[in-house]
Amino acid sequence: MTPPAAEGLDPIALQVATGALRAACEEMGAVLVRSAHSANIKERRDASTALFDPQGQMVMQAEHIPVHLGAMPSAVAAVLGERHEPGRSWVLNDPYAGGTHLPDITVITPVFGDRPHRPAPGRASAGRRSALSLLGFAASRAHHADVGGAAPGSMPADSHRLDEEGVIISPQVLDEEAINRLASRMRQPAERRADLRAQLAANRIGARRLAEIAHRVGPDRLARTTEAVLDYAERRTRACLSEMVDGARHARDVLEAPEGDLELHLEATVSGDELVLDFSGGALQHRGNLNCPLAVTRSACYFAVRVLTDPDIPPSAGAYRPITVRAPEGSLLNARPPAAVAAGNVETSSRVADLVLEAFGRALGQGTMNNLTLGNDDFTYYETIGGGQGACPDADGPSAVHVAMSNTLNTPIEALEREFPLRVAGYALRRGSGGSGRHRGGDGVVRELEAREPMTYSLITERRRHPPPGAEGGAPGATGRNLLDGRELEPKVSGRLEPGQRLRIETPGGGGHGG
């Protein structure tokens, strides 16, 4: 007896399939984080893992940090048309061919299983051929500590072209030869090789689990199962969107580029159970590195939509079907080669999320990761600093947290002072920096570091000229400040520190909500 195909899965099978796919993605993530060598992957968990169907639809994703949410499908799309064979994986990082920024390397492995067979009713399946069929793809993305280029860490503050930022990997087969060839052009090649192998190991686990799920539900029913999981996520997103008031909402905001402010616009239109996010009319791509490919813009939009709808909705392509993201080609948010993109993934993505949240009446958080790099010939130290979260309609914004696309841990003072020629001269809440309102914005952070040796510093920060706005009459948060021995610095700046000099960073507060 064949159940009617039109009618998805029963509520129990649906929940069990969703759980199994989620567990498979989480297991992939665990293998990746556990076996990787880059601190970025194993400690900051700047990595994602996902499973796809044969058409390249993302069936499920493990969520470690939000920045990869919507950007993974572009990577699978970039290799979808290739000839796939068991055991042949693909690699890429080109932001203009499936990637985000160069340190994020994506590895994609096709998954094969027994070919579905449909024996005639009543006849045994003795004569079937055990051919292989494509069940889908396992994909993992990780932020590698270095991918070559002019600056250690491959996150330069002042790049103008993509090729200054590191090795560009166009989609290609990832075999031993490719691992060695690619790693040899990056710093710490042994660590790069190990990280790529960790990604392959993660994909192998994902492939095995997907094949097991196919075996359990029956190979000819896998497609129906995954489609049901996608439909389920879609239904839940549509249910949330249809509760929103129809019509267009607008938001505008700026990025603080060295050459001046870059303006961004959003028109967000809800009609029924669909949402269109249109960024037309904003800044064109610029000579710095705040540009981003459309995939990053989409990720930031999906992050904001998850915040505005229901975070329990399984993260799959289905959840994003009712959402259309538009940004004109050649604009800052849909840049073309050879524009540089290093800061796009960390700072511009934050502002895109801000625009969506602002359009829906939310007060905004600090809107920056406060990227600080210190170093000399003997060491490199990178940190991001939390700040104030925007207040919600029903609650105060938390203080001293990463607010949007990042969610990494800080480095303890007792570790920092032991390992680096630095002393922490102060670390406190920036009290009163959150915007007032019926619900207060969260407070920022004051962090002051003192150099014990000569070294260079580089700061990529935002919200130094324009404060994070409040909503519904709530006051904006305080702008951030960068100070060198009490002298104020630009939002994006690099220079030298002598022993005893102190760099003080005051991170922005969040906007308040309600007058």
Q: Does 390 bind another protein (CB under 8 A)?
A: yes
Amino acid at 163: D
Q: Does 188 bind another protein (CB under 8 A)?
A: no
Q: Does 445 bind another protein (CB under 8 A)?
A: yes
Pick the closer one to another protein by CB: 439 or 464: 439
Q: What is the DSSP letter of 85?
A: -
Q: Does 176 bind another protein (CB under 8 A)?
A: no
Q: Does 244 bind another protein (CB under 8 A)?
A: no
Tokens of 68: 């990869």
Q: Is the peptide bond before 338 cis (omega within 30 degrees of 0)?
A: yes
Phi and psi at residue 208, to the nearest 5°: -65, -45
Spatial neighbors of 299 by CB under 8 A, at least 6 apart, are 66, 67, 68, 69, 70, 71, 100, 349, 405
**Is residue 416 classed as helix, strand or coil in its secondary structure?**
helix
Task: Please tell me the total number of residues recorded for the chain in this structure.
Answer: 515
Q: Does 504 bind another protein (CB under 8 A)?
A: no
Q: Does 239 bind another protein (CB under 8 A)?
A: yes
Q: Does 398 bind another protein (CB under 8 A)?
A: yes
Site string for another protein, 343-382 (x = CB under 8 A): ----------------------x-----------------
Q: Does 138 bind another protein (CB under 8 A)?
A: no
Q: Does 483 bind another protein (CB under 8 A)?
A: no
Q: Which of 175, 246, 310, 485 binds another protein (CB under 8 A)?
A: 310
Pick the closer one to another protein by CB: 84 or 144: 144
Q: Which of 268-276, 283-291, 305-313, 491-499 is the region at the interface with another protein (rule: CB under 8 A)?
A: 305-313
Q: Give me the least distance between CB of 419 and another protein, in Å please.
A: 7
Spatial neighbors of 486 by CB under 8 A, at least 6 apart, are 504
What is the number of other CB atoms lying within 10 angstroms of the CB of residue 337?
14
Q: Give me the least distance between CB of 481 and another protein, in Å please.
A: 18
- Enumerate residues 50-109 that contact another protein by CB under 8 A: 63, 65-66
**Is residue 112 classed as helix, strand or coil in its secondary structure?**
strand
CB 288 within 8 A of CB 258: yes
CB 352 within 8 A of CB 297: yes
Q: Which of 49-57, 116-124, 423-431, 473-481 is the region at the interface with another protein (rule: CB under 8 A)?
A: 423-431
Q: Which of 225, 349, 399, 482 binds another protein (CB under 8 A)?
A: 399
Q: Does 153 bind another protein (CB under 8 A)?
A: no
Q: Which of 3, 34, 86, 432 binds another protein (CB under 8 A)?
A: 34
Q: Which of 11, 121, 122, 247 binds another protein (CB under 8 A)?
A: 11
Give the whole-angstrom CA distance, residue 512 versus residue 393: 9
- List the strands of the sheet with 132-143, edge to edge: 58-62, 47-52, 132-143, 104-114, 89-92, 172-174
Q: Which of 77, 276, 401, 493 binds another protein (CB under 8 A)?
A: 401
Q: How far is CA 208 from CA 24, 139, 196, in A?
A: 9, 13, 19
Picking from 131, 312, 181, the residue whose alpha carbon sits closest to that of residue 237 is: 312
Pick the closer one to another protein by CB: 190 or 245: 190
Q: Which of 200, 391, 471, 497 binds another protein (CB under 8 A)?
A: 391
Q: Does 415 bind another protein (CB under 8 A)?
A: yes
Pick the closer one to another protein by CB: 297 or 366: 366
Picking from 278, 213, 149, 187, the residue whose alpha carbon sits closest to that of residue 13 is: 213
The count of chain residues that interact with another protein, using the rule CB under 8 A, is 71
